[in-house]
Structure 1
Amino acid sequence: MVQVHLDLSEPQQHLVSVQIQLAPRLARMRLALPGWTPGSYLMRDYVRQLEGLVVEQSGQVLELQRLGPSAWGVVCDPCGCLLTIRYRVLATELTVRTCHLDHEHGFLALAAVVLELAGERWSRHQLSCTLPQGWQAFVPLPSSNGVWQARDLDHLLDSPLEAGPHQPHDFAVHGVPHQLVCWAGTPGEERWLLKRQPKLLEDLRRVCESCCRLMGVASPAAHRYLVILHLVDEGYGGLEHDDSTVLVYGRRNFEKPNGYRRFLQLVAHEYLHQWNVRRLRPAELTPIDYHRPPVVPSLWFAEGVTSYLDQFLPLSAGLSDPADLLTDLAEDLSRYRLTPGRGVQSLRESSQEAWVKLYKADAYAADAQVSYYLKGAVVALCLDLQLRRNGGSLMQVLRQLWLSHGRWGRGYSEADLVQAFSTHSPDLATQLPRWLRELDDPDLDGYLSSVGLFLDAEMASTPWAGLTTRQEAGGLMAARVVRGAPAEQAGVMVGDELVALDGQRLKSPDDLQRALRSHQCQTLLIARRSQLRSLELHPQAPHVERYLLKRVANATDEQMAAQHRWLLQQPAQVG
């Protein structure tokens, strides 16, 4: 057994003191801190926050040999006393995949905290904590007398820890205990959300039950489930775990007309991951390698399919209506159509290059890459509608993969996915690989037409320069310059200050739009590295600003019936 103790008793220092004890079984032991946490495909080099590493045995401090940036070797006595490992972790980064500790709360992604010890990965791990007075810790592990039990290291690292003077809120999903723990900055502040949404717990239960219905199961995959919510001023995101999820959501989002619906979609997305990607996972993630980035060509299925289905789950729960779903779907399809990078990076490449592109996107990224979340969702839509032409559905394939792979912990390959889809629609045996490797889009317009819908282009009201700006204290700055657009051809770069256009001072994005004139050469004055430069800008006619999803005029009864079954995710009918 490996015993891990975390001391959070001095939160003002933002330091977590870690002690690990074990009876060593090897004379030479390797210690290594993970470089990433599953679900967030970026090497985060957590070792940056580790300090003061010391290893002791029998009262002696043992010499450490650095084996790599995040790995050490130590010689010890496997027949001697317990080995004690001590170090500290700086916790100052508030995201769902890092660590944050202050006088209000503590959140720990344990992959950033607990060392992997050679020969002990599959040993039982115990976790205990020392907390400030009045705090309690919430961990999705079985516990007894304040000690949590993990069956192995993977089980421990997959268990986020939230601590503070929080008031938990319990609910059940098909008899399985669930708990919501909310941190909102100050004690009791989560009551703001419960007051604003008095049926929150009931709505969460309904969304979770809709996930179970989608998967065709009688109860959740987890035996208990923890929802950790960080309610901040602004933010959006989540990270899935086997038996829990960590969400971050902005208060201001709740003030928007679609804010609560988007929150429920976020919950649905992460909860559905309990099956898709956590237990039904790509073979490349079975088992996890915490120290090297595995190339996973099927991340589009793990994230794109989940992103597509999360919009249907509040509708299935009775918490939104079909018009809401079409509005949300239209936003995604519009964003996809207006992403030039889809003509540069294939869906398979997007999945394979997640480690070096998606999580490291900069101002030029949209021209060279496309998100496997976004394009994956578009392909999932086309797969669903293609399958429905043959009497099947995406939901049916997902259930089949769960029964054949997920419930047994058997990792799937891309070939397994193609086989599963082509079993229900033989054309997909050739179509799906082509959609994954090539840049051409599936016949999105044709698939939408089959359910009585079409995308209608809405043109901008002003000339197009291919330039996005942001207003700063120093002036109006170029935030994005579209590849091949008039602004790029004129010589504008991201970070330039836009000073004037044809002698008109530019102070806001509206000033730029008012000054643009189509088909006329205009003089753009910029400041770059404290030097003024005059550029010739040739705006083009207005381009598509967004796409709207509309119903086909005079749609047939067959189209409308197919649309109704699709929106409600009901079985398709053929013939």
Structure 2
Amino acid sequence: MTKAKKITRDNIAVKYKVSPTSLAEHIFSVSLSISANELRSLTLSLPAWIPGSYMIRDFARNILDISCTNEKVHITPIDKQTWHVSNKSDIALGDIQINYHVFAFDLSVRSAYINDEYAFFNGTSVFLKVHEFENNKHIVTIDKTDTMPWAEIVTSMPCDDTSSPSDNLRVFSCDNYCSVIDHPVLIGKCTRKSFDVDGVTFHLVFTGEHDLNMSRMCNDLAPICRHHMQLFGDMPVDEYWFITLLCKDGFGGLEHSASTILQYAVSALPKSNEQQGMDDGYRDFLSLCSHELFHLWHVKRNKPDVYVQPDLSQEVYSPQLWIYEGFTSLYDDLTLARTGIISPEGYCQILGQNITRLLRNPGRHKQSVAESSFYAWTKFYKQDASSVNHIVSYYLKGGIVALALDIRIRELSKNTCNLDTVMQEIWKQYGAKDIGTPNTLIHDICRDSLDMDIAPFLDTAVETTMDLPLSQLLNALGLHLHLRARSGNDDKGGKPAEIEIARDFGALSKDQPVGTMITQVLEGRAACDAGLQLQDNLIAINNVEVNSKNLGRELNALHIGSECDLCVLRDGRLLHLKMPVREAIKDTCYITIDDADTFKKWLTLL
């Protein structure tokens, strides 16, 4: 006779059942079942933010209702995202089932979304945490119901081998709550293909049914995956999922422990009859995949100590984000060049565009990259049209600091070490051991593992707002940095321009039926000194009607040292402003290769 297994609090599982019950109303139905046994109360909550996206999202606002099948159980809201569950008779809860509905119409990588083709969710949007059992096993049943019987279910969540699902049901399980919210789920029509790299299976999945060149994309992603695996010397998972929410316009990515959710424009991807060519849209998709896969190691495993077990109910601050997003922002495009997907000249164009973005950012002189990291919650993730004047991106400047750090390490070590060495040490000492990193991480690695004092460089590059000596640094790679004036609103830099706007303006605009509306004004530039403001409609310069097509020409006709008249409509009032005419600021960069052998050696060194 087999002895019955004793039920204890430790082996009680938290069980969820999720169903997309209304495509038209965008609603998930969720049930949460738990054997509370002797407990007289439970605390439930939903996260306020999702790891990797440092902004309070208040996901609980999308819970439409919540109830218990046992009428004797009372559910009391404690705050915007927390509920207290107790028995009205003040006795043990026993087996209970909590039912609730989630509104899902946020087409992004962070939340939940339902349309006629698919239903998608992150666990942070649908799985209520049972605080008393957060470290117990969590079992998830996905029920397609009659709403989506034709749908596939795609997720990196481990299947529950003990279950016997029907055609409409699939069952998964995770060891704890932190794990169950780290495996997004897609239910719907899909275009998909898998490929293997050195024994690891990668799955490429797109929402909807599309005529895409899946073989080409898999072939292009394979060397990117191999590069990252070889860099770290270890692969944390046996399978990895690239899951893309296709849309008309959109861009985004969010990393998870065995997958990434991407959002991308379907028109930018190669069709089945397109075999060659590397336009910017497809290149940027490969770079996005590279970026998010890099996070498999560097964010999901290597991470600041405060993010090892973060409090998802409130902001958690760290000055280290430049190390994580910045370093990853260097490696995403660099990997494309190292693997030959783009040419050395193509990488120089990307690098020139990145430097251009930084040079056009007056906020770099007001906020250090460490401060940018710390205030990500309130400044970087909550930008307005004037943010460019007050903050700097820890992605953008962090990536350029990473490039400069690599060059400095090579110099100090006489080319025996580089940034790859630092990445490998971070993984070996922290990520592979599930240890969070300290704020002094890069100082410590360079001092203790590379036997070098990097403090003079880091203290300036990371803690101050001083510009890096980019021209000198790039010379060490066999590159030459050129600066020129902008050629127009759409000029991203990265290459020479046939025509430049020779007069300073310092504002961006968007054309209206008459005139052009100001969308950004840069501090200290001519437009700012003239008093031009956001949402002003600039109608004319010196009585000549302007728009984006002729603005540069009219500016170039002005004489330096004079003033010009700006005719502006502001909130229904006609104004005339005087703008000083000055020489244009050279804030646009492009890079040429002076020493091809030196640059090639830097690109290929791993």
Please say whether Structure 1 and Structure 2 have the same fold, judged by a TM-score greater than 0.5.
Answer: yes
Q: Report the Cα offset of residue 67 of structure 1.
A: 1.7
3-state DSSP of counterpart to 2:133: coil
Aligned to 2:603: 567
Q: Could you tell me which of 290, 306, 325 is aligned with 2:347? A: 325
Counterparts of 1:250-399 in structure 2 under 5 Å? 250-254=265-269, 257-389=279-411, 390=413, 391-399=416-424
3-state DSSP of counterpart to 1:323: helix
Aligned to 1:2: 14
Do the aligned partners of 2:593 and 2:599 also contact (CA within 8 Å) in 1? no
Q: Could you tell me which of 445, 458, 466 is aligned with 2:471? A: 445
Q: Aligned partners of 1:157 and 1:565: how far apart in 2?
A: 42
CA offsets per residue over residues 54-110 of structure 1, 9 Å max, x none?
134xx3153333221111212247744312111111111101112110111111122
Q: Could you tell me which of 201, 204, 221 is aligned with 1:177? A: 201
Q: 1:366 to 1:103 in 2, by over 3 A?
A: same
CA offsets per residue over residues 506-538 of structure 1, 9 Å max, x none?
3x2123323222433122121122121221122
Q: Could you tell me which of 20, 34, 45 is aligned with 1:22? A: 34
Aligned to 2:275: none
1:490 correspondence with 2:530: yes
Amino acid paired to 1:568: T
Q: Aligned partners of 2:531 and 2:359: how far apart in 1?
A: 26
Deviates more, 1:4-13 or 1:416-425: 416-425
Task: Give the number of equivalent residue pairs.
Answer: 552
Q: Report the Cα offset of residue 476 of structure 1.
A: 1.7
Deviates more, 1:466-475 or 1:115-124: 466-475
Amino acid paired to 2:195: F
CA offsets per residue over residues 40-65 of structure 1, 9 Å max, x none?
11111112211111134xx3153333
Amino acid paired to 1:493: Q
1:139 correspondence with 2:155: yes
Deviates more, 1:389-398 or 1:76-85: 76-85
3-state DSSP of counterpart to 1:284: helix
Q: Aligned partners of 1:561 and 1:498: how far apart in 2?
A: 49
Aligned to 1:427: 453
Q: Aligned partners of 1:318 and 1:481: how far apart in 2?
A: 39
Do the aligned partners of 2:232 and 2:423 also contact (CA within 8 Å) in 1? yes
Q: Could you tell me which of 112, 117, 122 is aligned with 1:99? A: 112
- Which structure 1 segments of 5+ residues have no match? 571-575
3-state DSSP of counterpart to 1:60: coil
1:164 correspondence with 2:177: no
Deviates more, 1:448-457 or 1:275-284: 448-457
Q: Report the Cα offset of residue 27 of structure 1.
A: 2.2
3-state DSSP of counterpart to 2:367: coil
Q: Aligned partners of 2:524 and 2:337: how far apart in 1?
A: 41
Do the aligned partners of 2:514 and 2:539 also contact (CA within 8 Å) in 1? no
1:120 correspondence with 2:114: no
Q: Could you tell me which of 509, 521, 536 is aligned with 2:548? A: 509
Amino acid paired to 1:514: R
Counterparts of 1:403-482 in structure 2 under 5 Å? 403-422=428-447, 423-424=449-450, 426-460=452-486, 461-462=500-501, 463-473=503-513, 475-482=515-522
- Which structure 2 segments of 5+ residues have no match? 1-12, 271-277, 487-499
Q: Aligned partners of 1:168 and 1:549: how far apart in 2?
A: 38
Q: Aligned partners of 1:181 and 1:436: how far apart in 2?
A: 38
Aligned to 1:244: 259
Q: Aligned partners of 1:232 and 1:526: how far apart in 2?
A: 37
Aligned to 1:153: 177
Q: Report the Cα offset of residue 167 of structure 1.
A: 4.2
Do the aligned partners of 2:41 and 2:93 also contact (CA within 8 Å) in 1? no
Q: Report the Cα offset of residue 483 of structure 1.
A: 1.0
3-state DSSP of counterpart to 1:478: strand
Q: 1:500 to 1:320 in 2, by over 3 A?
A: closer
Q: Aligned partners of 1:364 and 1:539: how far apart in 2?
A: 23
CA offsets per residue over residues 482-524 of structure 1, 9 Å max, x none?
1122212222110111122221223x21233232224331221
Aligned to 1:573: none
Q: Aligned partners of 2:467 and 2:326: how far apart in 1?
A: 15
Q: Aligned partners of 1:340 and 1:565: how far apart in 2?
A: 34
CA offsets per residue over residues 447-489 of structure 1, 9 Å max, x none?
2121222211122422112111012457521100111222122
Q: Aligned partners of 1:442 and 1:435: how far apart in 2?
A: 7
1:72 correspondence with 2:112: no
3-state DSSP of counterpart to 1:435: helix
Q: Aligned partners of 1:417 and 1:18: how far apart in 2?
A: 44
Do the aligned partners of 1:207 and 1:317 also contact (CA within 8 Å) in 2? yes
Q: 1:173 to 1:198 in 2, by over 3 A?
A: closer
User: Structure 2 length as normaliser, TM-score?
Assistant: 0.87
Q: Aligned partners of 1:41 and 1:293: how far apart in 2?
A: 8
Aligned-pair Cα RMSD in Å: 1.9
Q: Aligned partners of 1:167 and 1:453: how far apart in 2?
A: 42
Do the aligned partners of 1:9 and 1:130 also contact (CA within 8 Å) in 2? no
Do the aligned partners of 1:518 and 1:541 also contact (CA within 8 Å) in 2? no
Q: Aligned partners of 2:386 and 2:581: how far apart in 1?
A: 20
Q: Report the Cα offset of residue 149 of structure 1.
A: 0.7
Aligned to 2:576: 534
Q: Aligned partners of 2:593 and 2:91: how far apart in 1?
A: 72
Q: Could you tell me which of 209, 230, 233 is aligned with 1:188? A: 209
User: Structure 1 length as normaliser, TM-score?
Assistant: 0.92
Q: 1:3 to 1:518 in 2, by over 3 A?
A: farther
3-state DSSP of counterpart to 2:66: strand
CA offsets per residue over residues 355-375 of structure 1, 9 Å max, x none?
011111111011111100001
Amino acid paired to 1:533: L
3-state DSSP of counterpart to 1:336: helix
